[in-house]
Amino acid sequence: MNRGAKTDWIIRSGASRWLLALMLLLTLASAAGLTRMGLASDYRIFFDDDDRDLLRLEQMQDTYSTTDNVFIMIEPADESVYNARTLGLVHGLTQALWRLPHTSRVDSLTNYPYSSADGDDILIEEFVYEPDEITRQRIAYIEAAASQERDLVGSLVSADGRYTAINVTLRLPGLDNKAEVLAVTGGVDELLRSFEADYPGYRFSVTGVVEMNGAFFRQRKRTSSR
């Protein structure tokens, strides 16, 4: 019996109807499970609950701080971040990021706690407390001091002074991960749209654990809307 004959026999036979019914039933059963499908936005799904590295990470977070963060890199229109306009932007954005939901810390060039000696006294002060402090003399002081700080160079400012960054550390309650993540990323997007309008020519790039998790949700929304 050739292939065509076999196909005709299957179509004509009652067995084909049972086979079709079985396939339809399996399809419907599978489709019912799709209604409970969701998109996870937590990197923990890639690990077993008893994974040794994951448990060590969670212990460190409980002891010290969470690693949930949003990292914003800023490329100024000029060739250096050490000018009044860029430092004013960094100061303003730093202050605004404190108002994001679940923010526990914001680190930037302008609020870096710089320590210096004055005789027998040790002074610790932020590089910029208020925007009116950003004078030519203060900018020169910040550039000279920041270039010697290992915690800054390569972390919040590039060695050549071409880029600077702001890191936002967050403590998400974990009650509704999706809502918490989207509240943060939505707030960041809104702030950056405002600053992009006020500072044309500047480039803002965003990364971090929370931003990455938010990207999963945004991609799912775009895909489902097609």
Query: Can you name the residues that pair with 103 across neighbouring β-strands?
Result: 170
User: Contact, 81 vs 157, CB < 8 A?
Assistant: yes
Which strands form 203-207's sheet, in the order they lie side by side? 103-107, 164-170, 69-75, 203-207
Closest CA to 90 of 171, 144, 146: 146
- For the cut 90, the answer to whether the pLDDT of residue 98 exceeds it is yes
Residue 89 tokens, joined: 């932007």
User: Contact, 192 vs 206, CB < 8 A?
Assistant: yes
Is-above-0.75 flag for pTM?
A: no
Number of domains in the chain: 1
CA gap 177, 180 in Å, rounded: 5
Q: Return the pLDDT at 141.
A: 95
Residue 195 tokens, joined: 């600053």
| Minimum mean pLDDT range among 84-88, 112-116, 120-124 | 120-124
User: Residue 143: which domain range?
Assistant: 67-224
Whether residue 52 is contained in a domain is answered as no
Residue predicted with more confidence, 142 or 27: 142
- For the cut 80, the answer to whether the pLDDT of residue 45 exceeds it is no
Whether residue 153 is contained in a domain is answered as yes
Q: Return the pLDDT at 115.
A: 82
* Domain CATH number, residue 127: 3.30.70.1320
- For the cut 70, the answer to whether the pLDDT of residue 27 exceeds it is no
Whether residue 58 is contained in a domain is answered as no
| Residue 16 neighbours by CB distance under 10 Å | 13
Closest CA to 102 of 216, 179, 11, 191: 179
Mean pLDDT of 66-76: 90
Q: What mean pLDDT, rounded, does the chain reach?
A: 81
| Minimum mean pLDDT range among 49-58, 119-128, 178-187, 209-218 | 49-58
Element (H, E) at 226: none
Q: Return the pLDDT at 50.
A: 76
CA gap 127, 114 in Å, rounded: 7
Whether residue 161 is contained in a domain is answered as yes
Q: What is the DSSP string of 62-111?
A: HHS----EEEEEEE-SSS-S-SHHHHHHHHHHHHHHTTSTTEEEEE-STT
Whether residue 38 is contained in a domain is answered as no
Residue 149 tokens, joined: 């700080």
Q: Return the pLDDT at 213.
A: 86
The residues, any chain, with a CB within 8 Å of residue 53's CB and separated by 6 or more, are: 47
- For the cut 80, the answer to whether the pLDDT of residue 40 exceeds it is no
Whether residue 39 is contained in a domain is answered as no
Closest CA to 210 of 164, 165, 163, 168: 168
Whether residue 88 is contained in a domain is answered as yes
Mean pLDDT of 197-217: 91
Q: Return the pLDDT at 58.
A: 64
CA gap 60, 55 in Å, rounded: 9
Of the segments 39-53, 65-79, 109-123, 129-143, which one has the largest average pLDDT value?
129-143
Mean pLDDT of 205-210: 93
Angle subtended at Cα 172 by Cα 169 and Cα 176, rounded to the nearest 5 degrees: 150
Whether residue 140 is contained in a domain is answered as yes
- For the cut 60, the answer to whether the pLDDT of residue 126 exceeds it is yes
Residue predicted with more confidence, 31 or 112: 112
